[in-house]
Amino acid sequence: MTTRGILLRNARRAFGDRVDIRVRDGAIAEVGPKLEASGGDSLLLDADGALVIPGLIDGHLHLDKTLLGLPWKPHPAGPTLSERIEAEKHLRHALPLSVEDRAANLIRRVLSNGTVHLRTHVDIDPEIGLENLYGVLSARERFKDFISIQIVAFPQSGVVSCPGTAALLDEAVEAGADLVGGLDPAGIDGDPDGQLDAVFDIAERRGVGIDIHLHDRGELGTSELVLIAERTAAQGMGGRVTVSHGFCLGEVDEATFGRTAERLAESGVAILTHGPGSQAIPPINRLRAAGVTVFAGSDNIRDSWSPYGSGDMVERVMWIAYRSGFRTDQELAVAFELATIAAAKALGLDRYGLDVGCRADFVVLRGSTLGEAIVEHPRRSLVVKSGRVVAHEGTVIDPPE
């Protein structure tokens, strides 16, 4: 359903006041109480006092890995990173659905839950080449009017330790990937300078951003964060580099954390967290107080790495808040920012929010307060992307075939 004019009435904003929102040509044209309907309002909607929030953002998932749409598969991987990498390689040869179709299943799921912007990492290695990338690019094209998708060319098997991968990453960016990725420069490649040389060289030549998975623990991990921050500053890439996970930030002593956070803030490197279940979570409030952008993502959703994940960023916010020890409504609101305002900043999304002039991306869901909605994470009543109703009562409208 495409609309040029929407008037959403009787919506409750996160801080409690009730407003009407008028949409014109994909943008928010007017916000205020009891707006009068006009001839340009081709669709009148009543929120009936439900909450309205900005469109949700998932800053980190893996569209090419998901098993959604397939019969349940018991989790096959062992506890180590290398075991999970090998388990996935074995599994991906026997999947009956294409990467594009599995990605489409997950896109529909996140859309129904109100995510209208996402960043996905896509595996690139000499064994599969760019096959997964092409599948995700096709899915992105199918859903281009429903959701915006950034793609990271992700070297799941390493860069330096996996000959030929650096050239493939470069080729992936040329083919349509928006960022170049990395993975544990020390733990996977055993050569931090070598991996970072390759990744930052591609990013600089191609004019794209960087998003590096970092699982390495303790002071080894924080030393890599400092190296990434130094490279970011030296190449003037502040605001375009993300480190995903960064468990080490929750493991080191106060002095080491303080020095590392300071370098991250000065260089403009953002930290992505998914609220890990068994690893240390980066200390969100301390990072924010130091000036570091922290945002949120789902990571794995029903794949060979994890049987968990619902594709619901409101639920993910709840788990991040839970892992962080957040209890008050004010703390829950901080966690919510990770999947909205902070994520928009990290992904470089302009005109984001519920103010006049912002793109008309918003979600309506039941809840008398934002805190209640985060804890209950109810079904989304309405999802609007660029002034188009894309989902209603948990169902995507007119999804592409």
Please classify residue 217 by burial: count the beta carbons closer than 10 Å to its beta carbon, then call 0-12 exposed, 13-18 middle and 19+ buried.
Answer: middle
User: Domain for residue 50, yes or no?
Assistant: yes
Q: End of a domain among 347, 363, 382?
A: 347
Supply the pLDDT for residue 3: 53
Residues 304-343 as b/e (b if ≥16 CB within 10 A, e otherwise) read bbbeebbbbbbbbbbbbbebbebeeeebbbbbbbbbbbbb
Pair (188, 303) in one structural domain:
yes
Residues 298 and 358 in one domain: no
* Residues 190 and 243 both lie in one domain: yes
Closest CA to 316 of 302, 336, 330, 334: 336
Torsional sign, CA 90, 94, 100, 104: negative
pLDDT reported for residue 19: 96
Domain count for the chain: 2
Which domain range does residue 387 map to?
A: 5-54+353-392
pLDDT score at 401: 63
For residues 229 and 368, state if they share a domain.
Answer: no
Return the pLDDT at 216.
98
Distance CA 61, CA 70 (A): 18
User: Does 74 share its domain with 185?
Assistant: yes
CATH number at residue 358: 2.30.40.10
Q: Which residues of the chain have pLDDT under 50?
A: 1-2
Asked if residue 397 is part of any domain, the answer here is: no
pLDDT for the residue 41: 85
Q: Report which secondary-structure segment, H or E, holds 183.
A: strand 179-183
Query: Does 80 reside within a domain?
Result: yes
326 and 363 in a single domain? The answer is no
In a domain, 233, yes or no: yes
Point out the domain boundary residue: 312, 330, 347.
347
Count of Cβ atoms closer than 10 Å to residue 138 Cβ: 15
Residues 358 and 232 grouped into a single domain: no
One domain for residues 49 and 127 = no
**pLDDT computed for residue 4 by the predictor:** 67
Residue among 238, 251, 305, 247 at smallest CA distance from 272: 247
Residue 398 lies in a domain: no
Same domain, 208 and 318: yes
Whether 399 maps to a domain, the answer reads no
Do 305 and 156 fall into the same domain? yes
16 belongs to a structural domain? yes
State the pLDDT at residue 16. 81
Residue 120 domain flag: yes
Indicate whether 266 and 387 sit together in one domain: no
Q: Which residues contact 364 (CB under 8 A, 6 or more apart)?
A: 8, 11, 47, 50, 51, 52, 380, 381, 382, 383
Residue 97 sits in the same domain as residue 113: yes
Domain with residue 76: its CATH number is 3.20.20.140
Closest to 343 in 3D by CA, of 21, 54, 63: 54
Q: Is 253 exposed, middle or buried (0-12, 13-18, 19+ CB in 10 A)?
A: exposed
- pLDDT score, position 1: 42
